[in-house]
Structure 1
C-alpha cells in the first residue's frame, strides 16, 4: 500500500466518521414543573430568605456520550418569585434589588459543559440580571433517574455577588452572596 492509498483511506474513514457524528443528535430536555429554580440568601451563615421562580422556560440539549456538545438555557419570570418571607417581596422586587418594574426576566445561557466524571459537570455560561451579564459556573450533577428513563435528576449550584449585577450592596442584614440552585429533574421532550 502506498502513501497515497493510505491517505485516501484515512480521508474516507474520517469523512464517514464525521457523517455518522452528524446523524447523532443530542436529546432535548425541559425542566419538570416541580423542579426548584431559585435562590437562597444567607447572612452570617443563616438562611434569611429563599426564593423560587414559579415560571421558568427551560431547554437543554444533552447526550451524556458527547457532553461537550451540550447546551442549556433558562428564562425566569422575576414576577413569579415566591419567597419564604413574603413580607420582603416589595423590597426584593424593588429598585435596589431585582428592579422588576424595569427588568422582568433573568436568564442563564450555557456556553460550555465540562464532564468531571461520576455524573458531575461544570456548566459555564452567562447569567443576566437587571440587564447585567456576568459569567457563572454551575456545579452540577446530572444522572439518570433510577425509576423513569425519561428523566434526568439534576442538582446545580452557583454563588454570585448581588452587587456584580447592579443590586444594592448588603443592607438590612441581607448577605452579599446569593446561592443559586436548581434541584429536580429534566424530562425528555
Structure 2
C-alpha cells in the first residue's frame, strides 16, 4: 500500500511540471556581464548588479518557454569608479534618461538536449532590436538549500552598440559587445 501511495505521489509531482512553470530570477545568483574592445589593446569587463525577471519554462515543449528580464542601467560595475560614472553618463548608457534595459524573448529554438537559441527584443537607450542568446540549461531540480524547484542557465551572445544609437568614440571603442549571463531561477515555494 505504501509503495502505491509513493508511486502516486511521484506521478503527481511529475504532472505538476507537465504544465509551464514560472520561475523568478534570483538576483543574488544571476549575473549579466559584458566585454568590449578598448583601443585595440584589451577588453574592458563589466557587469550589471541589479537584475529582475522571470522564466516561464515548459519542460514538455521548450519552444513554448519564455524569458523577461529587466536590468537597472545605473547598477553597472566595470571595476573603476570613474569609468562607471562615464558608462552611466549621457554619452554612453544615459542611465538618467534610460534607467533600465529590458529583454523579452520572442522565440525559443531548441538546438540540443540542453541547449537553445533564445531570440528576443532588447530595449536599450530607448531603442528596441532583436538579440539572440545561446542558452544552456545547466541543471533543473530541487535546490539543496531551500528545497525549491530551481533552474540554472548559462547564456552568451553579442550585440552591436551602434544599432542602439551608441556611437561615442566609435573609432577607439569597439562596436561589438560580448554578453555572458549566469542565471538562477526558482519556482514558487510549495504550500
Which TM-score applies when normalising by structure 1? 0.79
Compare 176-185 and 120-129 and name the one that shifted more.
176-185
Compare 59-68 and 144-153 and name the one that shifted more.
144-153
Give the structure 2 partner of residue 34 of structure 1.
29
Gaps of 5+ in 2: 1-16
Over 3 Å counting, the alpha-carbon distance change for 1:145 and 1:71 in structure 2 is closer
The CA distance in 1 between the partners of 2:64 and 2:107, in whole Å, is: 8
Length, aligned pairs only: 166
Aligned counterpart in structure 2 of residue 89 of structure 1, from 84, 87, 90:
84
Q: Confirm whether residue 103 of structure 1 aligns to residue 102 of structure 2.
A: no
Over 3 Å counting, the alpha-carbon distance change for 1:146 and 1:74 in structure 2 is closer
Query: 4+ runs of 1 displaced by more than 6 Å?
Result: none
Compare 123-132 and 141-150 and name the one that shifted more.
141-150
Compare 54-63 and 137-146 and name the one that shifted more.
137-146
How far has the Cα of 1:45 moved from its partner? 7.1
Give the structure 2 partner of residue 114 of structure 1.
109
Give the structure 2 partner of residue 49 of structure 1.
45
Gaps of 5+ in 1: 1-22
The CA distance in 1 between the partners of 2:24 and 2:52, in whole Å, is: 8
How far has the Cα of 1:171 moved from its partner? 4.4
RMSD (Å), alpha carbons: 2.2
